[in-house]
Chains A and B, each alone.
Chain A
Amino acid sequence: MGRIILRRLATSVPTIFATTVLVFALRYLLPGGPVQAMLGGGQGGQYTGAQLAALKARLGLNAPVPVQYWHWLVNAAHGDLGTSYYSQAPVTQVIGPRVGPSLELIIGALILSVVVGGGLGVLAAVRRNTRTGRAISLATGLGLSVPDFWLATIAAGVLGLTWQIFPAVGYTPVSQGLLSNLNTVALPIIVLSIVTGSFLARHVNSAMITALESPYIRAAWAMGLPGPKVYLNCALRNAVAPVITFIPLAFAALVGGTVLVENIFAIPGMGTEIVSSVSNEDFPVVQAIVLLVGVLVAVLNLGADVGLALIDPRIRNAASE
């Protein structure tokens, strides 16, 4: 098991490193530049050459790019992600309060997708070739084809404004009561999990059907094992693998989803922050958010590989050879 973790780490570290290079290169690929932006917005701003030079020197932008990158990397490794060009506050302070709401949405949507989507996938496999199975596959097909921006707008409009079941916009932190917090995040979480949940339901469904039609399940029936044991103890264990590989993918997809959903539901998370930072050309904040997401996805991938090895002894054996 230790060998698997080491081997995966050996590939995760270069991935994260490549991410940081890309993130850093981003600011030099975009037009304009941070200094112009800070001094009053792009081309034609009212500032002198002396002002520009002074600011550049203060931000350390006169050093060669690799040196700038090295400074940024070393500081980031020490937990210092720089200073926001826009608010002049440390980036960690800008992002800090934004992480909670976003992670709440993402983790909530992941749990909902796995429980409801996975459950429906299993049910559709057990009841395959029946009306229940076909209804589930129709519903998940629909869920996959609905664009999330449309769904979010409709949900906010109909459930939030017309029927007023949930608040249409806004966010209440957990510190002000769990119930009122859940009330504000319920709708965004449901919207986010429709696509991922449908996707997962389909994956689990096909993996479960493969398992149910395998010789060892036929043998389990032939030994007279009761249905729940055959489905849950024997078949499901073989159908868990796609769920585990799916989680890092879903996480990455959900990060994209939160950018949209947070903006529609006005939730103060990383998604709204990154949109305003990009339009403000506030590169240190953008870099920090992209870096954070990259590291989280890499860590989840590592976790998924370990999880796969835990459930399947064949992977464990192959890795230790």
Chain B
Amino acid sequence: MTEPAQRRRRRGTAEEGADPVPGEEVLTVRDLRVAFGKGPGRKQALRGVDLSLHAGKVSGVAGESGSGKTTSALAAMGLLPAGASVEGSVRYRGTELLSLPERELRRYRGRHLAMVFQETSTALNPVIRVGTQLLMAARTHAGGSRQEALRRVTEALADVQLTDTDRVMSSYPHELSGGMCQRIIIAMALSCGSRVLFADEPTTALDVSVQAEVLSVIKGLVARRHLAVLMISHDLAVLAEVCDDLAVMYDGEIVESGAVDDVLRHPAHPYTAGLLECLPRLRGPRVELPELASTVRDADHGTGCRFRPRCPWSIERCEQAPELAALDLGSSRQARCWRSAEVLASSGAAAGSRGQR
């Protein structure tokens, strides 16, 4: 390589900074508000979301369609459509991303933050060889050096357990399985240097055995490369398997958060409790599965708690909107419900009965 290329590469490395130490808070989202459209048709998609991602940890976001899970990730990446208005703060290792112009922000995408989507078969360009696509992305972030890009791509493919590098690189996406495509996208993010990975339903389109394979790849990367992952899913089983922390979203706000086991075992918000009730159980008596009344979109949007129209626990006080408040547990549990203590107490009993199954 020529001298200028090497200089570029060195400068590029300096910009990227040192690798994050495990546990470092790499991404901090505060009071993120997103709205689409203008005037009377304006739809508030996020109403003040706080999230923290740590190196070497997986944070989960659960919630049904339309709750704002994907919007949160897209907003943090700066990938929302032009008509969206975004307020709040997204800081990546000290840099405020929301105020960066598109051109500046583009240098953070791939190199620092990457996103994996639900579509596996169409997330790769159908008419370009996988290797060409991988190298194109890696080269963008490797100072234009082809050799360096190739080295990073080979390394990343090995990291996602794709060892048959030559065959994978010379294939077109339709010649590979969905699980392979998803791992290739993850490898692409790695080869670009990403430290933060937004994984938006990455396993939803895959069958269960392939799902486990992709999840184990992600877990391995978190452990070895200290990747910070935001795992978005409506599948509580997937979240329970890979996450350290979990936030449950409802209609554009977080209604409950905490360590994943605590939240799923002892929900403190009626919505979380409702989601868990909907899960089928393998043992115990056969019962008809309960369902949550209506959907987010049908709910009447007055003032007060947004879950109130569907909530079996609602009382008069719920006409005032509750804040996301810390629970009296000594841990980092938070819930947005006036009656969280009662919900928690009853879910404790439910968890006890579930322990017998």
Name A's B-contacting residues (CB within 8 A): 129, 214-216, 218-226, 229, 233-234, 237-238, 311-314, 317
Let me know if A224 and B111 touch, CB within 8 A. Answer: yes
Let me know if A216 and B123 touch, CB within 8 A. Answer: yes
B36: Cβ under 8 A from any A Cβ: no
B252: Cβ under 8 A from any A Cβ: no
Let me know if B127 and A313 touch, CB within 8 A. Answer: yes
Name B's A-contacting residues (CB within 8 A): 77, 79, 82, 106-111, 114-115, 117, 119, 122-128, 136-137, 140-141, 172, 174-175, 185, 188-189, 192
Let me know if A219 and B126 touch, CB within 8 A. Answer: no
State the CA gap A224–B188 with chains docked (Å). 11
State the CA gap A220–B174 with chains docked (Å). 18
Interchain residue pairs with CB less than 8 A apart (19): A215-B123, A216-B122, A219-B115, A219-B123, A222-B79, A222-B109, A222-B110, A223-B110, A223-B188, A224-B107, A224-B109, A224-B111, A224-B141, A224-B192, A225-B136, A238-B125, A312-B126, A312-B127, A313-B172
Let me know if B172 and A314 touch, CB within 8 A. Answer: yes
Q: Which residues of B contact A311 (CB under 8 A)?
A: 127
Q: Which residues of B contact A237 (CB under 8 A)?
A: 125, 127-128
Q: How many A-B residue pairs have CB under 8 A?
A: 78
Q: A222-B109, A234-B128 are in contact. Are A229 and B115 (CB under 8 A)?
A: no
Majority-rule SS of A interface residues: helix
Let me know if A219 and B140 touch, CB within 8 A. Answer: no
Let me know if A317 and B174 touch, CB within 8 A. Answer: yes
Let me know if B127 and A223 touch, CB within 8 A. Answer: no
Q: How far apart are A108's CB and chain B's nearest CB, in angstroms?
A: 30
Interface centre among B79, B109, B115, B127 (most CB of A within 10 A): B127
Q: Which residues of B contact A220 (CB under 8 A)?
A: 125, 137
Q: Which residues of B contact A214 (CB under 8 A)?
A: 122
State the CA gap A312–B109 with chains docked (Å). 28
Q: Which residues of B contact A218 (CB under 8 A)?
A: 79, 117
Let me know if A313 and B192 touch, CB within 8 A. Answer: no
List 13 other contacts, CB 8 Å, given A216-B124, A224-B137, A226-B106.
A218-B117, A219-B115, A219-B123, A220-B125, A220-B137, A222-B79, A223-B189, A224-B110, A224-B140, A226-B140, A233-B128, A237-B128, A314-B126
Q: Which residues of B contact A225 (CB under 8 A)?
A: 110, 136-137, 140
State the CA gap A216–B188 with chains docked (Å). 13
Q: How far apart are B107's CB and chain A's nearest CB, in angstroms?
A: 7
Q: Which residues of A contact B115 (CB under 8 A)?
A: 219, 222
Let me know if B140 and A221 touch, CB within 8 A. Answer: no
Q: How far apart are B172's CB and chain A's nearest CB, in angstroms?
A: 4
Candidates B136, B175, B185; contact of A229 at CB < 8 Å: B136
Let me know if A215 and B119 touch, CB within 8 A. Answer: yes
Q: Which residues of A contact B122 (CB under 8 A)?
A: 214-216
State the CA gap A143–B124 with chains docked (Å). 36
Q: Which residues of A contact B123 (CB under 8 A)?
A: 215-216, 219
Chain B residue at smallest Cβ distance from A240? B127
Q: A237-B125, A238-B126, A312-B127 are in contact. Are A222 and B172 (CB under 8 A)?
A: no
Q: Which residues of A contact B106 (CB under 8 A)?
A: 224, 226
Q: How far apart are B136's CB and chain A's nearest CB, in angstroms?
A: 7
State the CA gap A221–B102 with chains docked (Å). 11
Chain B residue at smallest Cβ distance from A314? B174
Let me know if A219 and B124 touch, CB within 8 A. Answer: yes
Chain A residue at smallest Cβ distance from B171? A313
Q: How far apart are B184's CB and chain A's nearest CB, in angstroms?
A: 11
Let me know if B77 and A222 touch, CB within 8 A. Answer: yes
Q: A216-B122, A229-B140, A313-B174 are in contact. Are A222 and B127 (CB under 8 A)?
A: no
Q: Which residues of B contact A219 (CB under 8 A)?
A: 115, 117, 123-124, 185
State the CA gap A224–B124 with chains docked (Å). 15
Q: Which residues of B contact A215 (CB under 8 A)?
A: 117, 119, 122-123
Q: How far apart are B199's CB and chain A's nearest CB, in angstroms?
A: 12
State the CA gap A44–B218 with chains docked (Å). 93
Let me know if B82 and A129 touch, CB within 8 A. Answer: yes
